[in-house]
Structure 1
Amino acid sequence: MYVLNRFLPFGNFEFFGRKELAIFLLSLAVIIMTWAIFQFLRAKTTTNPINLTKTSSLVTNGIFKYTRNPMYLGMLLILLAFGLKLGNAFNTLLAAGFVYFMNHFQIEKEEKALTELFDKEYTMYCKATRRWF
């Protein structure tokens, strides 16, 4: 985002409250991610998205009642906040690329592993709770 903002000669924007919105999104991201990590730690399960074999329980309450991927949602909010701070409209394309990448190369693998581990419980959770928000 920084490189795109620095070297792309167009796409800059400004609006009233842009910086405040960026601060709000960043604050929201920190709250969401902290809440999610706290819930994982309380459930005594792994926060490592790479080694899902250490997953010991399915967390479906708290922030996970509203999003199946609060940490990735937090990362997206951080990207959006940074894009707003920089003020270049093309940074939204990079945020959209992040969502695409996460959906296809990380979340789908996690969902497959969690379905194998928790079967019907996870399937029911997926039907009740959206992937992002």
Structure 2
Amino acid sequence: MGDGNGERADNPGVVAPPPLIFAGGLAAGLLTNRLRPTPFLPRGLSRALGWPLVVAGLALGLWGFREMRRAGTNVDPYHPTTAIVDRGPYGFTRNPLYVGMTLIYSGLSARANALPAALLLPAVLHVVDRGVVKREERYLEGKFGDEYLRYKGRVRRWI
């Protein structure tokens, strides 16, 4: 979105807030599973995987959030990015917040033992990749140029 003067807004123009994309897919999958329960894991494995994945996702996401705050940049993709963050989890993934949300989604799907939710995860990741990540990357390349391209060359998109 621009400001009405033909200028482009200083943000990546994502299709929707990433937490909403993940929550929407998870809610649809859990609701479908509630209407027609379809387990996909043995009960013990469901319990063993669920909460550790959720905790790992929360820890990674909070660590990434903290590093963005520490660098003084915005976490909200609807606001301008002011710095390239390459410390903490950003040293091994360019998207620790989205990896964290993926772990949380996976953990909740496993804990609920909900096959429909698990099957929707690839679609959710597709929307996040096309509607969020690629837009953010274009925006960061345009805003930070070579600095971002060097970072992008050193650190993988996901893991």
Q: Same fold (TM over 0.5)?
A: yes
Gaps of 5+ in 2: 1-28
Q: Which amino acid aligns with 2:59?
A: I
Tell me by how many angstroms 1:23 deviates: 0.8
Are residues 120 and 43 of structure 1, via their aligned partners in 2, closer, same or farther at CA, if it must alter by over 3 Å? Answer: same
Counterpart of 2:158 in structure 1 is: 132
Counterpart of 1:116 in structure 2 is: 142
Q: Which amino acid aligns with 2:31?
A: V
Q: Distance between the aligned counterparts of 1:21 and 1:9, measured in 2?
A: 19
Counterpart of 2:130 in structure 1 is: 104
Q: Please tell me whether the aligned partners of residues 23 and 81 of structure 1 are also in contact (alpha carbons under 8 angstroms).
A: yes
Tell me by how many angstroms 1:59 deviates: 0.4
CA deviation string 1:10-42 (max 9, x = no partner): 454325332121111111111111111111111
Percentage of pairs with the same residue: 26
The secondary structure found in structure 1 opposite 2:151 is helix
Counterpart of 1:14 in structure 2 is: 42
Q: Distance between the aligned counterparts of 2:87 and 2:41, measured in 1?
A: 39
CA RMSD for the aligned pairs? 1.5
Counterpart of 1:95 in structure 2 is: 121
Counterpart of 1:25 in structure 2 is: 53
Quick one: which of 63, 66, 80 aligns to 2:92?
66
Q: Please tell me whether the aligned partners of residues 28 and 74 of structure 1 are also in contact (alpha carbons under 8 angstroms).
A: yes
**Structure 1 segments (4+ residues) deviating >6 Å:** none
Q: Please tell me whether the aligned partners of residues 44 and 56 of structure 1 are also in contact (alpha carbons under 8 angstroms).
A: yes
Is residue 46 from structure 1 mapped to residue 74 from structure 2 by the alignment?
A: yes
Quick one: which of 65, 71, 75 aligns to 1:37?
65
Q: Distance between the aligned counterparts of 2:155 and 2:46, measured in 1?
A: 31
Gaps of 5+ in 1: none
Query: Across the two proteins, how many residue pairs are aligned to each other?
Result: 131
Q: Please tell me whether the aligned partners of residues 30 and 114 of structure 2 are also in contact (alpha carbons under 8 angstroms).
A: no
Q: TM-score, normalization: structure 2?
A: 0.76
Q: TM-score, normalization: structure 1?
A: 0.90
Tell me by how many angstroms 1:95 deviates: 1.1
Q: Distance between the aligned counterparts of 2:62 and 2:41, measured in 1?
A: 31
CA deviation string 1:97-118 (max 9, x = no partner): 1110000001111101100111
